[in-house]
Amino acid sequence: MDGRAIDILLIEDNPGDIRLTKECLREGKVRNNLFVIEDGFMVMPFLRSEGEFANTPHPDLILLDLNLPGRDGREILKDIKNDPEFRKIPIVILTSSQDEKDVLQAYDLYVNCYITKPVDLDQFINVVKSIESFWLTIVQLPSRAITEEGF
C-alpha cells in the first residue's frame, strides 16, 4: 500500500482484547496505526471525522466486535455497509459469539470475514497475527484515492 502505514480501526470494549491486539500488531511485520473505539455510538462520528475525531483518517481495515455498549456490532456493520463512502472498507468480525444466526446475519450484511475469538491466549495471539498476515500482506486493499465512481 504505497509504503505508508495501514490504518486499522479496532471496535472493541474488552480491555484485555484491546491490549493483546495492540501488542500483536505492534510486533507485526506491517507498519500500522491502530485506532480504538470502545463504544458503538462513537463509530460513525469517527468514520465521518466529526467532533473529537476531526483529524482521523478513514481506516483501511476494521476489526469489529459484535457485543458492544451503546450500539452493537450488527447495527454498526449495517450502517457502514449501507454508506457508499465506507462500504468498501473491509470489515473483520472478531467476536466471542459462535451463534450461527450471528454468522449468517453478518454475512447477509456483507461482512468480509467472521472470526470467533479463541479463549486461549496463544490462540488469540495466533488469530490476530493471521489477520495481519492475510489482510495486511496478502490482500490488496482498496486505495483511499479511489472514489465510488472509480476515479
What are the grid coordinates assigned to 68, written together? 458492544
Q: What is the DSSP string of the chain?
A: -TTSPEEEEEE---HHHHHHHHHHHHTSSS-EEEEEE-SGGGHHHHHTT-GGGTTPPPPSEEEE-SS-SSS-HHHHHHHHHH-TTTTTS-EEEEES---HHHHHHHHHTT-SEEEEPPSSHHHHHHHHHHHHHIIIIIS-PPPTT--TT--
Q: What local confidence, expressed as pLDDT, does residue 151 receive?
A: 34
pLDDT > 90 in the chain, percent:
61
Stretch 33-53: mean pLDDT, rounded?
Answer: 95
Q: What is the average per-residue pLDDT within 124-149?
A: 75
Cell numbers linked to 146 = 479511489
Q: Which of 23-37, 83-97, 134-148 shows the lowest mean pLDDT across its residues?
A: 134-148
* Average pLDDT along the chain: 88
pLDDT for 126: 86
Residue 46 has pLDDT above 90, yes or no: yes
Nearest in space to 94 (alpha carbons), one of 21, 15, 7:
21
Give the Cα separation of 12 and 101 in Å (integer): 20
pLDDT value for 25: 87
Q: What is the pLDDT of residue 26?
A: 84
Distance between terminal CA atoms of the chain?
A: 17
- State mean pLDDT over 67-86: 93
Residue 12 contacts residue 36 (beta carbons within 8 Å): yes
